Chain A
Amino acid sequence: MGNLRTRQRVLRGLCGVTATVTTIACVGTGIINANRTDIDKFLGTSSIKTVTDESERDLMYTYTSDYTNTTDLVQAIADVAERTQEEGTVLLKNNNQALPLSEDEKGKITLLGFSNYYPVTGGEMGSSVTDNIGTDADTVDFVTALEAKGFSINSTMTDIYASMEADITTEVENWGMTFEYKHVISPSTDGTFSSIEPSLDKLSKANPNWKDSLADNNVMLVMLSRSASENGTYLPGQDGVDASQNLNQTDPLGLSDDERALINAAVEAKNANGGKVIVLLNTACAMEVQEIEDNEGVDAILNIGLPGGYGFYGVCDVLSGEANPSGHLSDTYAVKNENSPAAQNYGNYMWTNADPANMINSALVEAEGIYTGYKYYETRYADTIAGVGNANATVGSTTGDAWNYDSEVTYPFGYGLSYTTFDQTLDSVDVDLANRTVTAQVTVTNTGDVAGKDAVQLYVSVPYTTYDQQNLVEKSAISLLDYGKTSELAPGASETVTITADAQYLASYDSSANDGEGTYILDDGTYYFTVGNGAHAAMNNVLAAQGQNVTGEAEDVVTWDLDSFDQTTFATTKNGTKVTNQLADMDLNQWMPGTVTYLSRQDWEGTWPATYENLTATEEMMSYLDNDIYEISANGDSSEVTFGADNGMHLAELKGASYDDERWSSLMDQLNLEDGMIRIAFGGTSTKPIASIGSPEAIQNDGPNGLYSYPLGQYANTDTADGDPCAISKDDKNFNYKAGVMPNETVIAATFNKDIAREFGEVMGNYSLWSNLTIYWGASANIHRLPYNSRNHEYYSEDPMLSAYMASNFVEGSKPYGLLTAIKHYAFNDTEINRSGLAVFMTEQKAREGELRCYQAAVEDAETLGVMTAYNRVGVIQANAHSGLMVGILRDEWGFKGLISEDFIQNPGYVHLKEAAMNYVTMTCNTGESNMEAVSAVFPFWTEEAVSADATLSAAIKQCMYYQAYALANSNAMDGYAPSTHVESVNTWYDNLVIALKVVFGLLSLLLVAGYVVTTKKER
Chain B
Amino acid sequence: MNKRKLAAGTVFTALSAVLAIVGFVFYFINSNTAYFSSVGKSAVVIGTIVIALVCDMCYILLTKDSNPAWSDALPIVSIVCLWIGTLSFIASRIAGIASIMTFEMNEQNMADLKSAIIGMVLLLVSAIVMVVGNFFDTRKEA
Q: Report A-chain residues with C-beta under 8 Å of the C-beta of B87.
A: 23-24, 27-28, 31
Say if the beta carbon of B75 comes within 8 Å of chain A: yes
Which of B39, B79, B106, B117 interacts with A19 by CB under 8 Å? B79
B106 to A: closest C-beta gap in Å = 6
Instruction: Pick from A9-17, A741-749, A797-805 the stretch touching chain B.
Output: A9-17
The reply on B40 being an interface residue by CB < 8 A is yes
Whether B84 contacts A27 by the Cβ 8 Å rule is: yes
What residues of chain B lie closer than 8 Å to A12, measured between beta carbons? 72, 75-76, 134-135
- Report how many A-B pairs have Cβ atoms within 8 Å: 106
B105-125 interface bits toward A, Cβ cutoff 8 Å, 1 = contact, 0 = none: 111101000000100000000
Query: Separation in Å of the B6 CB from the closest CB of chain A?
Result: 17
CB distance from B40 to the nearest CB of A (A): 7
Contacting residues of chain A (494-539) with chain B, CB-CB under 8 angstroms:
none
Answer whether A231 and B103 are a contact pair too, CB < 8 Å, given A27-B84, A356-B35, A907-B38.
yes
Query: Bound complex: CA of A871 vs CA of B103, how far in Å?
Result: 10
Q: A489 in the interface, Cβ–Cβ < 8 Å?
A: no
Task: Name the interface residues of B39-77: CB closer than 8 Å to any CB of A.
Answer: 39-40, 42, 69, 72, 75-76
| B127 interface residue per 8 A CB criterion | yes
Contacts A24-B83, A926-B95 hold; do A10 and B88 have CB atoms under 8 A apart? no
* Residue numbers in A under 8 Å from B101 (CB-CB): 174-175
Q: A906 contacts which of B79, B80, B95 (Cβ < 8 Å)? A: B95
Residue A34 at the B interface, CB < 8 A?
A: yes
Q: Is B142 among interface residues, defined by CB-CB distance under 8 A?
A: no
Best-buried of B95, B105, B127 by chain A (most CB within 10 Å): B95
Whether A434 is near chain B, meaning CB under 8 Å from some CB there, is no
Minimum C-beta distance from B72 to chain A (A): 7
Give the residues in chain B near A940, CB-CB below 8 Å. 40
Contact across chains for B88 and A27 when beta carbons are under 8 A apart: yes
Grouping DSSP codes into helix (H, G, I), strand (E, B) and loop, the B interface class, with mixed when no group exceeds half, is helix
Contact of B83 among A23, A189, A905, A1016 (CB under 8 A): A23
Task: Please measure, in the bound complex, the distance between the C-alpha atom of A781 and the C-alpha atom of B62, giving whole angstroms.
Answer: 68
Contact of A9 among B79, B96, B110, B135 (CB under 8 A): B135
A24 CA / B134 CA spacing, docked (Å): 17
Could you tell me if A927 and B34 are in contact, using CB atoms closer than 8 angstroms? no
Please, which residue of chain B has its CB at the minimum distance from the CB of A27? Answer: B87
Please tell me if A35 contacts chain B, counting CB pairs below 8 Å. Answer: yes
Out of A17, A189, A904, A1016, which one reaches B69, CB within 8 Å? A1016
Once the chains bind, are A907 and B106 in contact (CB under 8 Å)?
no
Contacts of B39 on A, CB cut-off 8 Å? 908, 938
Q: What's the least CB distance linking A539 to chain B, in Å?
A: 40
Task: Kindly report which residue of chain A lies nearest to residue B66, judged by CB atoms.
Answer: A1020
Q: What residues of A have a CB within 8 angstroms of the CB of B108 in the complex?
A: 356, 361
Would you call A188 an interface residue if the criterion is a C-beta within 8 Å of the partner chain's C-beta atoms?
yes
Chain B residues whose CB sits within 8 angstroms of the CB of A35 once the complex forms: 94
Name the B residues within 8 Å of A174 (CB-CB): 101, 105
**Distance in Å from the Cβ of B108 to the closest Cβ of chain A?**
6
Asked if A834 contacts B106 (CB within 8 A), the reply is: yes
Tell me which of A16, A24, A34, A356 contacts B34 (CB under 8 A): A356
CA distance A31 to B89 in the complex (A): 11
Proximity string of chain A (626-663) to chain B, C-beta cutoff 8 Å, 1 when within and 0 when not: 00000000000000000000000000000000000000
Check B137 against A230 for contact (C-beta < 8 Å). no
Chain B contacts for A31, CB-based, 8 A:
87, 91, 94
B residues in contact with A10, CB < 8 Å: 135
- B88 contact set on A, CB distance < 8 A: 27
A9 and B108 CA atoms in complex are apart in Å by: 47
Judge whether A16 and B83 touch: CB under 8 Å.
no
CA distance A516 to B131 in the complex (A): 72
Complex: A85 Cα to B117 Cα, angstroms:
45
In the bound complex, do residue B103 and residue A9 qualify as a contact, i.e. CB atoms below 8 Å apart? Answer: no
A356: nearest chain-B partner, CB-CB: B34
Q: Which of A231, A907, A1016 contacts B72 (CB 8 A)?
A: A1016
Q: Is A733 an interface residue (CB 8 A)?
A: no
* Distance of A448 Cα from B117 Cα, bound (Å): 66
Out of B38, B72, B84, B135, which one reaches A23, CB within 8 Å?
A: B84
> Is B136 an interface position by the 8 A CB rule?
yes
Give the complex CA separation of A828 and B131 in angstroms: 53
For window 901-957 of chain A, which residues contact chain B by CB distance below 8 Å? 903-910, 926-927, 937-938, 940
Give A906's nearest chain B residue, CB to CB.
B99
Q: Is the CB of B76 within 8 A of A19?
A: yes
B130 within 8 A of A: yes
Query: Which residues of chain B are near A24, meaning CB under 8 Å?
Result: 83, 87
Q: Given the complex of chains A and B, what is the CA–CA distance between A831 and B39 in angstroms?
A: 27
Contacts of B95 in A (CB 8 A): 906, 926-927
Complex: A20 Cα to B76 Cα, angstroms: 9
Task: Assess A9 versus B136: contact at CB under 8 Å? Given A17-B131, A906-B95, A909-B37.
Answer: yes
Other-chain contact of A904, B37, B72, B99, B105 (Cβ < 8 Å): B99
Give bound CA distance, A5 to B35, whole Å: 50
Bound Cα distance from A35 to B67, whole angstroms: 44
Knowing A834-B106, A906-B95 are in contact, say whether A16-B130 is a contact too (CB < 8 A).
Answer: yes
Proximity bits, A357-377, B CB within 8 Å = 1, else 0: 101010000000000000000
**Smallest CB separation, B79 vs chain A (Å):** 5
A13's closest neighbor in chain B, by CB? B135
Most buried by B among A907, A927, A1009: A907
Q: How far is the CA of A190 from the CA of B105 in the complex (A)?
A: 11
Question: Complex formed: what's the CA distance from A361 to B40 in Å?
Answer: 21
Q: Are A9 and B137 neighbours in the complex by a CB distance under 8 Å?
A: yes
What A residues does B25 contact at CB under 8 A? none
Q: Which of B42, B69, B76 contacts A16 (CB 8 A)?
A: B76
| A28-55 interface code vs B (CB 8 A; 1 in, 0 out) | 1011001100000000000000000000
CB distance from A943 to the nearest CB of B (A): 15
Asked whether A5 lies within 8 Å of B137 as measured between CB atoms, the reply is yes
Residues of B close to A13: CB separation below 8 A: 131, 134-136
In the assembled complex, which residues on chain A have CB atoms less than 8 Å from the CB atom of B135? Answer: 9-10, 12-13, 16
Instruction: State which of A17, A28, A906, A908 has its C-beta within 8 Å of the C-beta of B98.
Output: A906
Residues of B near A904 (CB, < 8 A) are: 99, 102-103
Chain A nearest CB from B98 CB (Å) reads 7
Is the beta-carbon distance between A20 and B91 smaller than 8 angstroms?
Answer: no
By a CB distance below 8 angstroms, the chain B residues around A188 are 105-106
Q: How many angstroms between the C-alpha atoms of A705 and B107 in the bound complex?
A: 29
From residue 341 to 389 of chain A, which have CB atoms closer than 8 A to chain B? 355-357, 359, 361
- A664 and B95 CA atoms in complex are apart in Å by 35
Q: How far is the CA of A12 from the CA of B130 in the complex (A)?
A: 12
- In the complex the two chains form, is A34's CB within 8 Å of B37's CB? no
Give the distance in Å from the alpha carbon of A15 to the alpha carbon of B136 in the complex: 13
Are B104 and A836 touching (Cβ within 8 A)?
yes
Chain B residues closer than 8 Å to A30, beta-carbon distance = 91
A20 to B135, CA, bound (A): 14
Give chain B nearest CB distance to A93 CB in angstroms: 39
Complex interface bits, A262-275 against B, C-beta within 8 A gives 1, otherwise 0: 00000000000000
Determine the chain A residues whose CB is within 8 A of the CB of B42 once the complex forms.
937
Q: Which of B106, B127, B131 has the most CB of A within 10 A?
A: B106
> Which B residues are in CB contact (< 8 Å) with A836?
104
Report the bound CA distance from A357 to B109 in whole Å: 11
Q: How far is the CA of A175 from the CA of B100 in the complex (A)?
A: 11
Beta-carbon nearest neighbor of A14 in chain B: B135
Q: How far is the CB of A556 from chain B (nearest CB, A)?
A: 47
Which residues of B are interface residues toward A (Cβ below 8 A)?
Answer: 34-35, 37-40, 42, 69, 72, 75-76, 79-80, 83-84, 87-88, 91, 94-96, 98-99, 101-108, 110, 117, 127, 130-131, 134-137
Top 10 closest pairs, chain A to chain B, by CB: A909-B38, A356-B34, A13-B135, A16-B134, A906-B99, A23-B83, A27-B87, A908-B38, A16-B131, A906-B95
Q: Would you mind naming 14 contact pairs between A and B with Cβ atoms under 8 Å apart?
A: A12-B135, A13-B135, A16-B130, A16-B135, A23-B79, A24-B87, A30-B91, A174-B101, A175-B101, A190-B107, A355-B34, A834-B106, A909-B37, A1016-B69
Question: 5 new A-B pairs (CB below 8 Å) besides A13-B131, A175-B110, A356-B108?
Answer: A19-B79, A20-B83, A27-B83, A30-B91, A35-B94
